[in-house]
């Protein structure tokens, strides 16, 4: 981080509670999603249930579109031990002044059952974020079908947490002809949360919290959501990883700040790959 970039928020320190997995604060996912739905309806977002079971519904939201030059996709909550993502989505719906040039597609929680169990996996012990090629699970089959019905996205932002991380980091899947905006995201997040200092994260080289994974969809058999989007939709993708050993409020701030950096980039750089 350069001296001209904002420094981390005072008091943002690891709690030291995670050991062998996530041991931090939990949320009532039903209450969070109920509140988000009410806020979205009040702000004229449209909504669609794309999967239903005897335990929960999976719902997608959409706003904008009349004057939109860009389409932004945001998702969260695919791992049930990462509560900051759905809370960040609630904040984004409630507080964001979305540009008129932007159409937003939002899936605020893809694994409600995992939140009830406080597990990464779904109720059947399957990591949903490794099922986007085989589509073995009913919820990911339904989500993939919904994504296939959507128009192509210019940008995607997928909200995650990492219980082992010492700071925030991100993956940026680059798109031909697109300038990297990873540093803009890091700069925004650094004002509220420390940035991961490691030169290697999950086996990938990292520079100041930024990973550019050199991976092709055909090279992997266990596709995460980000790889599915890259293969099917194109566009530029960012997976944001908040450090879940920090207070929940700090992690939510980090994910919101990272997402808003993408929004501001689209607001200030009106060049669409669909024009």
Band of pLDDT at residue 155, cut at 50, 70 and 90: very high
Supply the pLDDT for residue 8. 47
Examine residue 237 and state whether it is found in any structural domain, yes or no: yes
Per-residue pLDDT at 5 exceeds 90 = no
Give the domain extent around 44.
Answer: 29-268
pLDDT for residue 272 is more than 60: no
- Helix axis angle for 138-149 and 225-232, nearest 10°, is 30
| Residue 67 lies inside a defined structural domain of this protein | yes
- Residue 162, in any domain of the structure: yes
Tokens of 98: 């979305």
Number of domains in the chain: 1
pLDDT band at 176 (very low <50, low <70, confident <90, very high): low
Q: What is the mean pLDDT of residues 78-86?
A: 98
pLDDT at 275 over 60: no
Shortest CA distance to 138 belongs to which of 115, 111, 120? 111
pLDDT tier at 54, thresholds 50, 70, 90: confident
Tell me: the pLDDT tens digits for 12-33? 789 999 999 999 999 999 999 9
24 belongs to a structural domain: no
Mean pLDDT, range 215-234, rounded to an integer: 86
What is the number of other CB atoms lying within 10 angstroms of the CB of residue 199? 9
Q: Given this model, what pLDDT does residue 6 score?
A: 42
Q: How confident is the model at residue 184 (pLDDT cuts 50, 70, 90)?
A: very high
Is 140 part of any domain?
yes
Q: Can you tell me whether residue 139 is helix, strand or coil?
A: helix
The pLDDT, as a whole number, for residue 271 is 56
177 against 18, higher pLDDT:
18
Mean pLDDT of 253-269: 95
DSSP labels for 194-254? PBP--SEETTEE-BTTEE-----GGG-SS--HHHHHHHHT-SEEEEEEEETTS-HHHHHHH
pLDDT of residue 4: 40
- Are 167 and 193 in contact, with CB atoms under 8 Å apart? yes
Domain annotation covers residue 275: no
**Burial track 36-60 (b if 16+ CB lie within 10 A, e otherwise):** bbebbeeeebeeeebbeeeebebbb
Average pLDDT of the chain is 91
Residue 229 has pLDDT above 90, yes or no: yes
Region 212-216 average pLDDT: 83
* pLDDT for the residue 61: 98
In angstroms, the first-to-last Cα distance of the chain is 35
pLDDT at 47: 97
Do the domain assignments include residue 33?
A: yes
Residue 69 maps to which CATH number?
A: 3.40.630.10
Q: Residue 241 domain-assigned?
A: yes
When pLDDT is averaged across residues 76-100 and rounded to a whole number, the result is 97
Q: For residues 238 and 170, is the Cβ–Cβ distance under 8 A?
A: yes
Rounded to 5°, angle at Cα 241 from 86 and 17: 85
pTM above 0.85, yes or no: yes
């Amino acid at each position: 981080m350069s001296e001209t970039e904002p420094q981390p928020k005072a008091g943002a320190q690891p709690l030291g509670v995670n050991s062998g997995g996530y041991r931090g604060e939990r949320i009532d996912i039903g209450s969070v999603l109920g509140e988000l739905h009410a806020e979205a309806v009040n702000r004229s977002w449209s909504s669609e249930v794309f999967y239903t079971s005897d335990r929960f519904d999976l719902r997608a939201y959409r706003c904008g579109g009349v004057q939109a030059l860009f389409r932004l996709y945001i998702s969260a909550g695919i791992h049930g031990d990462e509560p900051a993502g759905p809370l960040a989505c609630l904040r984004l719906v409630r507080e964001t002044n979305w540009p008129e040039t932007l159409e937003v597609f939002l899936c605020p929680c893809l694994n409600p059952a995992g939140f009830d169990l406080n597990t990464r996996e779904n109720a059947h012990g399957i990591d949903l974020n490794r099922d986007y090629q085989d589509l073995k699970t009913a919820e990911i089959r339904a989500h993939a079908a919904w994504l296939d019905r959507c128009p192509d996205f210019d940008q995607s932002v997928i909200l995650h947490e990492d219980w082992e991380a010492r700071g925030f980091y991100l993956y940026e899947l680059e798109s031909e002809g697109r300038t990297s905006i990873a540093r803009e995201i890091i700069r925004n997040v650094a004002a509220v949360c420390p940035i991961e200092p490691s030169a290697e994260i999950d086996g990938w080289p990292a520079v100041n919290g930024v990973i550019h994974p050199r991976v092709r969809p055909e090279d992997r058999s266990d596709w995460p959501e980000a790889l599915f989007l890259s293969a099917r939709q194109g566009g530029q993708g960012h997976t944001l990883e908040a450090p879940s050993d920090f207070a929940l409020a700090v992690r939510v701030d980090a994910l919101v700040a990272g997402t808003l950096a993408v929004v501001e980039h689209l607001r200030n750089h009106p060049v669409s790959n669909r024009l």
